[in-house]
Amino acid sequence: MDSPWRAELYWLALIAFVGLFAGKVTGLYFGSFFLSVLAYLVRHLFYINQLVIWLRIGGKLPQSSGVWEEIYYLIYRLRRRNKSRKKRLLTMLERFRTATAALPDATVVLGSRDEINWFNEAAERFLGLRKGDVGQQIGNLLRNPKFAEFLKANIYDATINISSPAIVKGQLEIRIVPYGENLRLLIAQDVTQIRFMEKVRSDFVSNVSHELRTPLTVLRGYVETLGDSDQDLPTHYQKAFRRMEEQTSRMQKLIDGLLALTKLESGALAPSKRVNVTLLLYSIRDEARQLAPGGRTLNLCIETRADLLGAEPELRSAFSNLVLNALKYAPEDGAVSIRWRDDTGGGAVFEVEDNGIGIAEEHIPRLTERFYRVDTGKSGVNNGIGLGLSIVKHVMTRHEGELKISSALGKGSCFSCKFPEKRLLRSDKSADNLENY
């Protein structure tokens, strides 16, 4: 038996002995027993009262005996442990706040109702928040329709760009990260310089491309004129002019692609004009069949009558790019399938699938980068200028869509353009009677 309980039994035995002795002396055994039990109870009530006072106001550990000494000690040790843990937590919290306050990006802790719980100094500079704004809803302070829609959508894997309410001509990139229970972290990064450099680059590319178009047009005209009279030229000159014509044509495509990219990178959404996707795809299919190398087949499957809200020239450029790429890399007896269908999760999808040579997995994340090309090792295939998929990606961004690529070496590739439901206009006609072409 542990010593605290042994001491408690001593106390119990002592009180019982005193009670028996008093009963024998007085002859009142019941009264003596009652007084003994009452004395034992008073002792416990005394220690309980000491415990309550100690827990309420703290101070020195009360003196006690028996099992109450052990209880006091265990509670004292538990309080010391909790105090030490609390001190460590406060130290960690202070370090976190100090580190977060030193971050160059604006950081705001939002509660379950999007109210501000805490923010760092950068949030004061970039978002214009003040000390008295704690407890206010962030949407009432950042009055930006784009931000309000983003905050309501609860999209945690995307970012938005808005103008800074506190910095003249400042641009902010905002991300919201969920953490804890019903808490969110708003992070705003100052991207003013980045956007400025992007604009400088875009203007430079645009200006250089425009300046190159005129001399290139003149050069290409002379080359074509000389090439038309190749019968009057020596054989080695004929070959040289053909090569010059090929390269000037390639440079013309490069300049046109760069100008198209510059226009698409404006960041604005595409206009909401109705585009008859069915007629557009029929037209693209007919044009592609004329350009398709011999032996390759092209199939079009229309599974939905949904039309798109967007810019038809941009959509034609993107869809044609994917179709011609698929035909280029398909085998001589290969097939390319084009589908326009509803997506199971809402929206619609334009797909181009081929059974060609495929793309290695390590190249897929970089396919939409400018001038990035994969060396297929396939003879006779022109790898292009490396701007096609970059143009497709920017077209999809302007139409609030997403480009997805799946491929495997030797098994072909599938390029999917998914459009959200808000970009669709659906016809009352049923798609059950649509034919495959």
Instruction: Please name the residues in contact with 145: beta carbons below 8 A apart, sequence gap of 6 or more.
Output: none
Q: For 332-376, where are the E strands, in sequence order?
A: 335-342, 348-354
Distance of CA 42 to the CA centre of its chain: 67
Q: Please determine, for residue 113, whether its predicted confidence score (pLDDT) is greater than 60.
A: yes
**DSSP H or E run through 416:** strand 412-419
Q: Please determine, for residue 436, whether its predicted confidence score (pLDDT) is greater than 50.
A: no
Burial of 399 (0-12, 13-18, 19+ CB in 10 A): buried
Q: Are 298 and 338 in contact (CB under 8 A)?
A: yes
pLDDT, greater one: 325 or 37? 325
Tokens 């994340």 belong to: 365
Q: Strand pairing partners for 255?
A: none
**DSSP H or E run through 243:** helix 235-264
**Gap between the terminal Cα atoms of the chain:** 91
Q: Cβ–Cβ contacts within 10 Å for residue 308, how many? A: 24
pLDDT at 431: 42
pLDDT at 434: 43
Tell me how far apart the alpha carbons of residues 181 and 178 are, in angstroms, rounded to a whole number: 9
Instruction: Please name the residues in contact with 153: beta carbons below 8 A apart, sequence gap of 6 or more.
Output: none
Q: Please determine, for residue 237, whether its predicted confidence score (pLDDT) is greater than 90.
A: no
Q: Please determine, for residue 416, whether its predicted confidence score (pLDDT) is greater than 90.
A: yes
- What is the rounded average pLDDT of the residues 221-230? 72
pLDDT, greater one: 210 or 132? 132
CA atoms within 13 A on the CB side of 30: 0
pLDDT at 2: 57
Highest CATH level, class, for 194-264: mainly alpha
- Give the pLDDT band (50/70/90) at residue 330: confident
Q: Please determine, for residue 243, whether its predicted confidence score (pLDDT) is greater than 90.
A: no
Radius of gyration of the chain (CA): 39
What percent of the chain lies above the pLDDT cut of 90?
A: 14
Highest CATH level, class, for 103-190: alpha beta
From 106-110, 132-136, 157-161, the region with the lowest mean pLDDT? 157-161
Tokens 């010391």 belong to: 80
pLDDT, greater one: 298 or 223? 298
Q: Please determine, for residue 71, whether its predicted confidence score (pLDDT) is greater than 60.
A: yes
Residue spans per domain, the chain: 3-97, 103-190, 194-264, 273-425
pLDDT at 381: 52
Fold (CATH) for 273-425: Heat Shock Protein 90 (3.30.565)
pLDDT, greater one: 120 or 157? 120
Nearest to 382 by CA among 263, 291, 314: 291
- What is the rounded average pLDDT of the residues 146-168? 85
pLDDT at 377: 56
Q: Are 132 and 95 in contact (CB under 8 A)?
A: no
- Give the pLDDT band (50/70/90) at residue 215: confident
Tell me how far apart the alpha carbons of residues 305 and 182 are, in angstroms, rounded to a whole number: 41
Q: Please determine, for residue 376, whether its predicted confidence score (pLDDT) is greater than 70.
A: no
